[in-house]
Amino acid sequence: MDTEYLTRFPDGTLVRWKALTWEEYRYLVKTFGESLEGAAGWLLCEAAAALCILDHDQDGQQVEPGELYAGTVYTVGREIIELTGFVPTVENVRNSLAKAREKVTSDWYESALAIVCATFRLDEDLVRKWTHRKFMEYCARVEIVTGQPMSVVDPAEEEAKQIKKYKIGPDGQKIPILTKQDLRRRGAMNMQPTPGPTDDV
């Protein structure tokens, strides 16, 4: 299930809402444009709120959107627009992708979920309802289908390995420490002696 959000106003008003889908965002931009300023921006935010607000509580009572205090719907709508990751600027795309990478790679099960769903064309929501045993059985099937083991990496161990691969030189720079495996990757070293200067006869 997608994440839901709760905005609490100083007057006690509570508004629960969801994020925009890609389809909803494209519809809003096509209809109202991308600007958040002026009358068009006001309409854009109000329309976003209409799509995403799930329920609201004002003075302890459930009320209709039209009964909310002035500016409440617009404020929530602007928050919805500003939160969406679909705004196609380079900075926004980079930030959104970096956050997604961090979330997926920091949790082995999230990474494995992506691989299982891609390999067997399964829906993530369906897979999340499986038991742990069934999920791990499908991870083993991924290894059979792809012929590659699903790596289980301890971040602490990887960090320790990276630290060991370098030593600090006199000038404070990191100097790579080559292992036998590193040398094998680079190929056999040329052990032929280098000709020296020829003496004049």
Per-residue model confidence as pLDDT tens digits over 48-77: 988 888 877 666 666 565 666 677 888 888
Would you state the structure tokens that stand for residue 167, as one six-digit string?
């030593």
CB 32 within 8 A of CB 47: yes
Q: Between 7 and 89, name the one with better pLDDT.
A: 7
How far is the C-alpha of 195 from the C-alpha of 43, rounded, in Å? Answer: 80
**Token code pair at residue 61:** 């009572």
pLDDT confidence bin for 201, thresholds 50/70/90: very low
Long-range contacts of 147-151 (CB under 8 A, 24+ apart): 150/112, 150/115
Q: What is the pLDDT of residue 100?
A: 79
Q: Which residue has the higher pLDDT, 30 or 95?
A: 30
42 close to 80: Cβ distance less than 8 angstroms: no
pLDDT at 62: 62
Compare 158 and 14 and report the one with higher pLDDT: 14
Contact partners, residue 197, CB within 8 Å, separation at least 6 = none
List, for residues 120-179, the tens digit of each pLDDT value. Answer: 999 988 999 999 999 999 999 999 999 988 887 655 555 555 555 666 777 777 776 766
State the pLDDT at residue 105: 75
> For tokens 């509580």, what's the residue?
57
> How many alpha carbons fall within 13 Å on the CB side of residue 13?
18
